């Protein structure tokens, strides 16, 4: 058996005992042949072969067993994984921290175990067909599988602006969800959840002790991730990125390189706060203002880089920011993602608590007075009463369905957007069913912890982390997330729910613990981020307008979205409401560029 190992990996496993397991990928990358019985290690991929068993590993796992960590250091992650699985079986996953994915192939390919970390930051995609398991780290490079675009996946992309795992854009190809493993035995595959968060909602820690532990965990994480690298940070000026930047300056004992992106558009720029944070910590700050011309190059490059359509509109600014850092010689950048989702910082958490108050109103009063009264004709036209009508309408919808009441497709109406033939091929209710399953599976009683666990999948694992990982990869940088370390994740689960959302105060503990470390202006500012004024620019900039029009003109011929809807979108809705409808133009445009590329390379 021989492995052709590249920077990433893929393979085919068969149930037949004499089947050949191969690892191949991306033909543009240099090949490295590793014969049996040797260890092959590089910063991206580690391979270990022993007695007919093979282990492939990506990432930088940290083993809690000192002996295994020694093996990890001396012989590579794949050798440590092999030993861990031999002694502990799949329970070994519980003892490993960090970002990783691993594939253990046994019995010449007839048995295997594939696993990814708690946030799925090193993905594994697979297809089980005719007694064979096909796998890769990308959905578009799985060997031996015909790539056919799934109509259901197209719909879910347009619904979520990304495709949540386990679905991928291709029929019959799945992505291993975060914190899951895949067991391949006797020609069949079984997907199992190996990690699920457990919240200690009865714990009442001492605030001073909790603050000290919190700050130490963050500092340790930043120190660990910065070691051995010419490192910098993304700095948006928010609490998360400012915290990481400040801790990096403290760790280095010298000014850290921080990188910020600005937009010369009203309501979209927060460079002022990035400057405040950089000055406060003494960072060596780098600024760049994105222009519409930057997007002309960036949009097609970012859209086609991903293995499936990805519509997060801040991906292009993130790539531009990462590229500037790479030009300066930075080889690893630290991102602040995770603080909101671990400690209760998203504005919708407070909004949903307000709706949750309706449940405390006695049922007899709700059903006998409020709801009948507010349902009377004309009540929704009285200014003050109108808000009450809207509040009750939303409050009556259970979670998590309430989250998507204002989803663009729901608001516009599926029949108004999609071609009838396309609608007939899809299940429009599947996204809500799958979200309900995630919501119900959460091991938490409090509303805030349920929302956090929900966001760990849909906001982090499926959206924000692929955005940052994909765009930094395109720029040629490594990236890590100190605020998503397993240590900080476990710590956050021990905090009382009211420390995360105190009445309507978001991330109360996080801000109070950082008071005195962060500038007061940063703690009190509203959340922003690398928002992109695409809709505004698409109406003003001739080149960007032409790019969007060309992409949507091609997309209208794919039998997915009604041609009349696209015409109205470009000619009526976008000019009238560029901030709102610009997002729809963006996600259609990104899908079209992705489809063009993959049709060419199929």
User: Quick one: which H or E segment has residue 165?
Assistant: none
3-state percent helix, strand, coil for the chain, nearest multiple of 5: 50, 15, 30
Residues 402 and 342 in one domain: yes
Whole-prediction pTM: 0.91
Mean pLDDT of 574-584: 95
Is the predicted pLDDT of residue 13 greater than 70, yes or no?
no
Contact 244, 225 (CB under 8 A): no
Residues 519 and 583 in one domain: no
Rg (CA), the chain: 25
The per-residue pLDDT of the chain, averaged, comes to: 88
In a domain, 43, yes or no: yes
Contact 585, 574 (CB under 8 A): yes
pLDDT confidence of 364, banded at 50, 70, 90?
low
Using one digit for the tens of pLDDT, what is the confidence trace for 36-91?
333 333 457 788 888 778 888 999 999 999 999 999 999 999 999 999 999 999 99
Domain of 263 in residue numbering reads as 197-294+312-411+435-530
In a domain, 266, yes or no: yes
Residues 16 and 83 in one domain: yes
pLDDT confidence of 392, banded at 50, 70, 90?
confident
pLDDT of residue 385: 63
Residues 542 and 583 in one domain: yes
Q: How far apart are CA 246 and CA 242, in angstroms?
A: 6
Using one digit for the tens of pLDDT, what is the confidence trace for 337-361?
999 999 999 988 988 888 777 677 7
pLDDT confidence of 126, banded at 50, 70, 90?
very high
Contact 361, 370 (CB under 8 A): yes
Residues 496 and 595 in one domain: no
Opening angle at CA 295, ends 292 and 301, nearest 5? 170
In a domain, 448, yes or no: yes
In a domain, 141, yes or no: yes
Percent of the chain with pLDDT over 90: 71
- Domain tally, the chain: 3
Spatial CA neighbour of 82 closest among 110, 63, 515, 511: 63
Residues 405 and 267 in one domain: yes
Domain boundary among 485, 504, 530: 530
Three-class secondary structure of residue 341 per DSSP: helix
pLDDT of residue 53: 84
Residues 475 and 496 in one domain: yes
Domain boundary among 165, 193, 221: 193
Mean pLDDT of 290-302: 95
Contact 468, 456 (CB under 8 A): no
Using one digit for the tens of pLDDT, what is the confidence trace for 272-292?
999 999 999 999 999 999 999
Specify the higher pLDDT residue, 511 or 384.
Answer: 511
Contact 271, 306 (CB under 8 A): no
In a domain, 427, yes or no: no
Residues 181 and 144 in one domain: yes
Using one digit for the tens of pLDDT, what is the confidence trace for 412-426?
999 999 999 999 999
Domain boundary among 128, 161, 193: 193
Residues 549 and 524 in one domain: no
Three-class secondary structure of residue 114 per DSSP: strand
Residues 81 and 173 in one domain: yes
What's the CATH number where 42 sits? 3.60.20.10
In a domain, 33, yes or no: yes
pLDDT confidence of 382, banded at 50, 70, 90?
confident
Beta-bridge partner residues of 188: 185
What's the CATH number where 360 sits? 3.40.50.620
Specify the higher pLDDT residue, 203 or 409.
Answer: 409
Using one digit for the tens of pLDDT, what is the confidence trace for 194-251?
999 999 988 889 999 999 999 999 999 999 999 999 999 999 999 999 999 999 999 9
Is the predicted pLDDT of residue 21 greater than 60, yes or no?
no
In a domain, 424, yes or no: no
Residues 457 and 520 in one domain: yes
Residues 167 and 218 in one domain: no
Is the predicted pLDDT of residue 22 greater than 50, yes or no?
no
In a domain, 556, yes or no: yes
Is the predicted pLDDT of residue 17 greater than 50, yes or no?
no
């Amino acid at each position: 058996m021989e492995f052709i190992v590249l920077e990433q990996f893929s393979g085919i496993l068969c149930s037949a005992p004499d089947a050949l397991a191969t690892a191949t990928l991306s033909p543009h990358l240099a090949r490295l042949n590793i014969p049996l019985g040797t260890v092959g290690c590089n910063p991206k991929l580690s391979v270990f072969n022993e007695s007919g068993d093979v282990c492939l590993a990506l990432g930088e796992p940290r083993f809690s067993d000192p002996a295994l960590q020694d093996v990890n250091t001396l012989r590579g992650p794949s050798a440590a994984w092999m030993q861990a699985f031999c002694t502990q079986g799949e329970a070994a996953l519980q003892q490993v921290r960090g970002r990783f994915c691993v594939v253990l192939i046994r019995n010449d390919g007839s048995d295997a175990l594939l696993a990814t970390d708690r946030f799925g930051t090193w993905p594994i995609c697979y297809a089980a067909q005719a007694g064979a398991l096909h796998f890769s780290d990308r959905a578009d490079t799985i060997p031996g599988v015909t790539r056919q675009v799934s109509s259901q996946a197209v719909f879910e992309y347009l619904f979520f602006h990304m495709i949540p795992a386990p679905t991928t854009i291709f029929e019959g190809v799945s992505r291993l969800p975060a914190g899951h493993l895949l067991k391949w035995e006797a020609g069949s595959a079984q997907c199992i959840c190996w990690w699920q968060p457990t919240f200690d909602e009865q714990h009442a820690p001492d605030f001073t002790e909790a603050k000290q532990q919190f700050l130490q965990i963050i500092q340790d994480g930043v120190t660990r991730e910065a070691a051995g690298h010419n490192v910098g940070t993304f700095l948006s000026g928010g609490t998360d990125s400012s915290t990481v930047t400040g801790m990096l300056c403290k760790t280095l004992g010298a000014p850290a390189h921080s990188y910020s992106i600005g937009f010369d558009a009203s309501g979209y720029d927060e460079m002022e706060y990035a400057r405040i944070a950089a000055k406060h910590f003494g960072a060596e700050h780098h600024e760049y203002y994105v222009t519409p011309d930057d997007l002309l190059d960036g949009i097609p490059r970012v859209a086609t880089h991903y293995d499936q359509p990805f519509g997060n509109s801040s991906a292009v600014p993130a790539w531009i920011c990462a590229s500037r850092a790479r030009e300066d010689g930075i080889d690893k950048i630290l991102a602040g993602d995770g603080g909101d989702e671990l400690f209760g910082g998203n504005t919708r958490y407070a909004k949903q608590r307000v709706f949750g108050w309706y449940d405390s109103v006695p049922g007899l009063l709700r059903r006998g007075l409020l709801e009948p009264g507010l349902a009377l004709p004309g009540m929704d036209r009285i200014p003050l009463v109108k808000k009450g009508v809207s509040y009750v309408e939303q409050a009556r919808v259970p979670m998590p369905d309430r989250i998507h009441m204002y989803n663009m497709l729901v608001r516009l109406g599926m029949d108004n957007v999609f071609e009838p033939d396309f609608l007939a091929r899809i299940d429009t209710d599947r996204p809500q069913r799958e979200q309900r399953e995630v919501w119900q599976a959460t091991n938490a009683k409090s509303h805030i912890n349920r929302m956090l666990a929900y966001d760990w999948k849909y906001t982090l694992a499926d959206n924000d982390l692929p955005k940052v990982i994909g765009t930094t990869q395109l720029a040629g940088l490594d990236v890590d997330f100190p605020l998503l370390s397993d240590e900080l994740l476990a710590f956050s689960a021990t905090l009382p729910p009211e420390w995360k959302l105190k009445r309507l105060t978001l991330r109360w503990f996080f801000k109070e613990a950082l008071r005195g470390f962060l500038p007061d202006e940063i703690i009190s500012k509203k959340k922003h981020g690398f928002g992109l004024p695409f809709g505004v620019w698409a109406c003003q900039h001739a080149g960007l307008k032409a790019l969007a029009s060309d992409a949507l003109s091609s997309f209208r011929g794919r039998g997915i979205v009604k041609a009349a809807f696209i015409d109205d979108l470009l000619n009526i809705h976008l000019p009238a409401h560029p901030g709102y409808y610009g997002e729809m133009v963006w996600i259609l445009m990104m899908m079209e560029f992705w489809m063009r590329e993959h049709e060419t390379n199929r």
